[in-house]
Structure 1
Amino acid sequence: MRADFKQESFDEGCFNRIFKGLSFEGIGLKLARVKKIVEVEQIENYKKPLLMLLLEDETILHIEFMNDKIKPNIESMMIYDVYIRIKYGIQVTTVILYSGSEQKEKLKIDSGSIHYEAQIICLSEFNGQEIYSEIEGKIHSGSMLSDIDKLKLIFLPFMYHSLLLGEALSKVLLLIEALNEEEERLAYLTVITEVVSRFTGNKGIDVVKEYLMDTEVGLRIKDAGVKEGMRNSLLIILLHKFDSLPDNLYFAITNQQNENILMEWLRKVSGINTIDELKKMVFSRNRIKE
């Protein structure tokens, strides 16, 4: 899983801000509270898990999403769960959050001595209209949202509504925009965007893009995503060249927020052959104390 020394990405920071400390008991899962999001290494030929959360009891909650048209690859799910169990000795609980109309209880593999199953939580069984009204009342009255409220707000568009998904999603986005704290709004909108894309594929993403277009929070998300991509590209190139980087160089790159400087480094990096040359490029241009 992701090494602790690696600086968390923009998306990881948003997920940790929203999920850290939350319990999933509000949607029927009696598990420990969330400690942080984790990332597992890519296993060749198998699709990576959609969401892995380290819980406070040092177990992993593996979450996949499913609706009537999009179904997770249960073989890939099983491979990753077994990999984590064998390599790290960590117990994994796998849950599928389902937004479809049919009633489902479990998804499983039974083949000889192999038995693997994932629990299914049907979000469509929750009355999204009532939950929306409750959360809306709290937000507009200035009341604190409970942990259950915060968890349900994330998955609210996929609960039961008399509205179409796009309409329900638009209402939820407006509700999030009413939150008082800017950083909290930014985190929720980022997480909701990711959850929508994972739940529905392209369906629903246009609603999010249209809402975020030209808004301050939308521009911040776009700006952070562009810079993160540039920083990641730099690190991939440099780690391929040098295998490892001194801490001062690593953090100078990951903390750089100026898009023009990042672009300049990307243009020059192919001609960098030594750590000393890299230091000269990073520290002389940015005047950072080594």
Structure 2
Amino acid sequence: MRVTFQEESFNEKCFNKIFQGLSFKWIGLELPMIKEIAEVERIENYKLPLLMFLLEDDTLLHMEIISDKIKPDLQSMLTYDMSIVLRYRMQVKTVILNFGSKQNSNFQRSFGSVYYNTQIVDLSGLDGERVHKEISQKISSGFPINEADKLSLVFLPFMKNSLPFNEVLLKVMSIIGKIKDEEERIAYLTVISEIVSRLIGKQGVEVLKEYLMDTEVGLSIKDAGVKEGMRESIIIILLEKFNVLPDDIYYAIAKQNNEDTLMKWLQMVTSICSIDELKKMVFNIE
């Protein structure tokens, strides 16, 4: 029987496709490779961490971005880091990537008796226009991009550039649109969309929506997100009713990819009163 198991979400799959197995050695961080993205529970009134990675040594890397216009929310960062340390007894290393003016190598603040120290990695010398040109040429020519290129592509919108942020973001979207592998294209667009929305909010989201609205990749992301939401809704309703679900039923719902079937189940599930009725619905038993 299964109660709390949750299948990897659509967003998690995209983040893991891009980041799994990578390291940040290209920016001078001598850390183990990334094992997977780590999603944390929201704490009311505090901003979610931008990025949280589980590393190969089972420690966590908390990563934020700052620039001349984007300032770190140290209170939120400390709150999440301390909650992980106290609740899960896991070590958290906090790193801030700086794409603005040159910053000190550490960011230190005292909160009462708590002393909070984060490492700043200064990337203010990175020329976003040069990086854009190099990666664009590689992708257009069909050459594979290396580890540094993959990470640069994710963070390219935040590098130094002579153009306004919205225009830089659209240029990055255009590069990603040239990636031949569909799953990889969707993963990059999803990852950048999520980072932008967490970092700068509505401004970046509107730019992304405008770009994705009528594109094949945008429709694929929307389709995948809709189906995931329907599957999660069905499972949540059923767990409210029955507390636990048999594994065969759980997996049948989690793996269902037909939108019409999911919509039918969503309409029927509220009137289901027993596991036997549920089996008839899921396995199409007359």
After TM superposition, the score normalised by the length of structure 1 is: 0.88
Once residues 102 and 237 of structure 2 are traced to their aligned partners in structure 1, the CA distance between those partners, rounded to angstroms, is 47
Which amino acid is the alignment partner of residue 125 of structure 1?
Answer: G
Residue 243 of structure 1: aligned partner: 243
State whether residues 128 and 156 of structure 2, in contact with CA within 8 Å, keep that contact through their aligned partners in structure 1: yes
Once residues 221 and 16 of structure 2 are traced to their aligned partners in structure 1, the CA distance between those partners, rounded to angstroms, is 16
Once residues 217 and 19 of structure 1 are traced to their aligned partners in structure 2, the CA distance between those partners, rounded to angstroms, is 20
Which amino acid is the alignment partner of residue 27 of structure 2?
Answer: I
Q: Where does 1:105-254 land on structure 2 (aligned, <5 Å)?
A: 105-254=105-254
The alpha-carbon distance between structure 1 residues 130 and 70, as it changes in their structure 2 partners (threshold 3 A), is: closer
Once residues 222 and 48 of structure 1 are traced to their aligned partners in structure 2, the CA distance between those partners, rounded to angstroms, is 23
Residue 22 of structure 1: aligned partner: 22
The alpha-carbon distance between structure 1 residues 240 and 14, as it changes in their structure 2 partners (threshold 3 A), is: same
Q: Quote the sequence identity (%).
A: 56
User: Counterpart of 2:75 in 1: which secondary structure?
Assistant: helix
Residue 77 of structure 1: aligned partner: 77
Once residues 116 and 164 of structure 2 are traced to their aligned partners in structure 1, the CA distance between those partners, rounded to angstroms, is 34
Higher relative contact order (CA 8 A, sep 6+): 2
Once residues 262 and 165 of structure 1 are traced to their aligned partners in structure 2, the CA distance between those partners, rounded to angstroms, is 39
Once residues 67 and 279 of structure 1 are traced to their aligned partners in structure 2, the CA distance between those partners, rounded to angstroms, is 54
Which amino acid is the alignment partner of residue 109 of structure 1?
Answer: R
User: Counterpart of 2:18 in 1: which secondary structure?
Assistant: helix
State whether residues 23 and 33 of structure 1, in contact with CA within 8 Å, keep that contact through their aligned partners in structure 2: yes
Which amino acid is the alignment partner of residue 114 of structure 2?
Answer: I
Gaps of 5+ in 1: none
Comparing 57-66 with 180-189, greater Cα deviation is found at 57-66
Q: How many aligned residue pairs are there?
A: 284
CA root-mean-square deviation: 2.4
Which amino acid is the alignment partner of residue 224 of structure 2?
Answer: A
User: Counterpart of 2:61 in 1: which secondary structure?
Assistant: strand
Gaps of 5+ in 2: none
Once residues 64 and 4 of structure 1 are traced to their aligned partners in structure 2, the CA distance between those partners, rounded to angstroms, is 30
Per-residue Cα deviation, 1:53-77 (whole angstroms, up to 9, x for no partner): 1111211111234455554442332
After TM superposition, the score normalised by the length of structure 2 is: 0.89
Comparing 143-152 with 178-187, greater Cα deviation is found at 178-187
Once residues 72 and 230 of structure 2 are traced to their aligned partners in structure 1, the CA distance between those partners, rounded to angstroms, is 31
Once residues 39 and 172 of structure 1 are traced to their aligned partners in structure 2, the CA distance between those partners, rounded to angstroms, is 25
State whether residues 109 and 115 of structure 1, in contact with CA within 8 Å, keep that contact through their aligned partners in structure 2: yes
